[in-house]
Amino acid sequence: MNDGETGRRVVDDRFELESRLGGGGMGTVWRARDLLLHRSVAVKEVRPADPDLAEYDPDSARMLRERVLREARALARVQHPNVVTIHHIVDGGTGTYPWIVMELVEGGSLADRLARGPMKPAEAARVGRGVLDALRAAHAMGVQHRDVKPANVLLRTDGRPVLTDFGIAAIRESTALTATGSIIGTPDYMAPERVTGGEGGPAADLWSLAMMLYVAVEGHHPLQRGTTLATLAAVLHEDVPPPKQAGPLTPVLARVLVRDPAARPDTQTVDGLLAAAAEAVQDSGTTSYPLAPPKPPPPVPSAADTVVPRPPRRRGGAVIASAVAGVVLVSGGTWLAVNGGDDNKATGASGPTRHSSTQQTGSSTSTEPSASATERSGSAVPSGTSKLATGMLTPKGIRTALKAIEDETGRHTFGDLRVYTSYISVEAMVSGSKTRYDTYTYRPGTGVEKGIIKGTLSGEEPVSLKGYNWDALPSLIAFGEKKLKVDKPTEAYLWLQPPRSVFGTPVSINIYLNNEYGETGYLVVTPQGKVTKVMPVDP
């Protein structure tokens, strides 16, 4: 890449980078201008989550480069209007990471669309047919996608879907980069046969497609659990519960989301079922509504049971040194690890420690936030207390746990922090590193335990938790009970997410309330305890 005198970033003396479109643990996708053909394109800049990968693990860096080249070749083999078109690849040779130049799809991703609320069944069925067409074309060329999920489905401005990111596609004639027994992909959408380390086949991509459609209409994932390992175990051993909002999509979901791949219908049958669902008259009682924030994971066993609490994160590279039902997750390099999704969109933010604790957005300057769907204010710390602020979810509980973790590990900076009534979990940064972390939990009676999950921050900055106003927590939970419209809340939890340097997103402290029906609302507050956003249950 060349930097001209004007500060322009130009790749291969031809592609001028204009703006960032998205990214994840594998790198960044840019909107760029092709200076030769005078057209807009998407350029995928491949970088490992750990910038030191090539230095301490050159074999993994080499495999990363080979994987990217394989992605380009896989894409080039599949010519279809529902598969993203690859135009060019920039390869500087051994010791470098390639750039992939692709067509620019302007409508955002399906993940962006679902962030605004679930789809009606007919709408989801139309998207599903387009993705299925792309998969059929890929399968005909001997290519399996292996990572069908909302973030990998782009939408044209007219709503037509385009399947992208064939980076872990398995080509029958070239499987050298798929280690025996390893899992490469996103656990939420992975078919059971791939969880067990099997090669899988086209039927596995159909499972992923059906699970994506389930999430699209229901607004939640039926098998997602509080940890990667727990999610994989659920995929292996739990039945998918019947959908409640799927309407005419129900038959295809019921027939595809079965564990035995041989029992799933073929692509022609699935296409017929999707076509029928797309043409069905939508029940007027089914409407779109904003997605609820993530529910807390269920209580988890101690570290001896090999499950560590870890809510869904948008992050690159978690290295899991354990097995579920005989499944081995190999680390080889952070890019090979199972992750929970891609970071495709900048999100909202709360007040950071390095900024003023009082913020304003638009004309909202009131001293108490209202219960509108989305609001920022910078209100004063609420007063009051709540019966939900018990156990570890108290100022004393948090301080006790953090002190014990710091005393035990000698670590004083962290990735995120999750606080539940029965335990606290943190990502503690490895000494001398700003990206690598180990997980630790603290429980009363058992103390500090090191978790089995390791990983690297991707675009996030570790934080010190000194000076945080934990004393405000009981009042904040009580305030949430008044404003979040959660009927008879049964539990509360706290999730602190570190700032993101890429977007300039500050540290975010989210306080969630939910009830036995799964209704969830949350507050966003600053480290000083000021409420900056209220996200109630949608009326």
What's the rounded mean pLDDT across residues 525-537?
Answer: 90
Instruction: Give percent above pLDDT 90 in the chain.
Output: 34
Predicted pLDDT at 371:
35
- Confirm whether 158 is a catalytic residue: no
d(CA 203, CA 80): 20
What's the rounded mean pLDDT across residues 89-96?
Answer: 76
Point out the least confidently predicted range of 77-81, 391-395, 528-532: 77-81
d(CA 417, CA 432): 20
Q: Which residue has the higher pLDDT, 68 or 300?
A: 68
Q: Which residue has the higher pLDDT, 285 or 53?
A: 53
What's the rounded mean pLDDT across residues 343-363?
Answer: 32
d(CA 242, CA 245): 9
Point out the least confidently predicted range of 39-53, 237-251, 382-396: 39-53
Do 380 and 529 form a contact (C-beta atoms < 8 A)? Answer: no
Model confidence at 91, pLDDT cuts 50, 70, 90, reads confident
Predicted pLDDT at 250:
93
Predicted pLDDT at 80:
87
Predicted pLDDT at 219:
92
Residue 205, CB-side half-sphere exposure with 13 Å CA sphere: 28
Residue 425 has pLDDT above 80, yes or no: yes
Question: What are the structure tokens assigned to 140, written together?
Answer: 């005909």
pLDDT digits (tens, 9 = 90+) for 302-349: 333 333 343 333 333 333 333 333 333 332 222 222 333 333 333 333
Instruction: Provide φ and ψ at 183, rounded to 5°.
Output: -120, 125
Model confidence at 221, pLDDT cuts 50, 70, 90, reads very high
Instruction: Check for a shared fold between 2-103 and 110-281+305-336.
Output: no
Predicted pLDDT at 218:
93
Residue 351 has pLDDT above 60, yes or no: no
Residue 232 has pLDDT above 80, yes or no: yes
Predicted pLDDT at 22:
73
What's the rounded mean pLDDT across residues 5-13?
Answer: 72
Query: What letter would DSSP give residue 152?
Result: G
Predicted pLDDT at 480:
93
Question: What are the structure tokens assigned to 387, written together?
Answer: 């019966």
Domain boundaries, the chain: 2-103, 110-281+305-336, 395-535
Predicted pLDDT at 280:
78
Q: Which fold has domain 2-103?
A: Phosphorylase Kinase; domain 1 (3.30.200)
Pairing of strands 161-163, 153-155: antiparallel
Model confidence at 369, pLDDT cuts 50, 70, 90, reads very low
Predicted pLDDT at 158:
82
Model confidence at 57, pLDDT cuts 50, 70, 90, reads low
Do 442 and 423 form a contact (C-beta atoms < 8 A)? Answer: yes
- Catalytic-role residue among 50, 57, 133, 147: 147
Predicted pLDDT at 229:
84
For the segment(s) 110-281+305-336, the CATH number from 1.20.1070.10, 3.80.30.20, 3.30.930.10, 1.10.510.10 is 1.10.510.10
Predicted pLDDT at 52:
59
For 45-83, what is the HEC assignment?
EECCCCCCHHHHCHHHHHHHHHHHHHHHHHHHHCCCCCE
- Measure Cα distances from 485 to 8, 73, 100, 297, 532 in Å: 49, 51, 47, 21, 17
pLDDT digits (tens, 9 = 90+) for 156-171: 888 899 998 875 554 4
Q: Which of 25-29, 72-76, 301-305, 518-522 has the highest mean pLDDT?
A: 518-522
Residue 165 backbone zone (phi > 0: left; psi -120 to 50: alpha; other: beta): left
pLDDT digits (tens, 9 = 90+) for 452-500: 667 777 667 899 999 899 999 999 999 999 999 999 998 898 988 788 7
Predicted pLDDT at 76:
75
pLDDT digits (tens, 9 = 90+) for 146-155: 889 998 899 9
Average pLDDT, the chain: 74
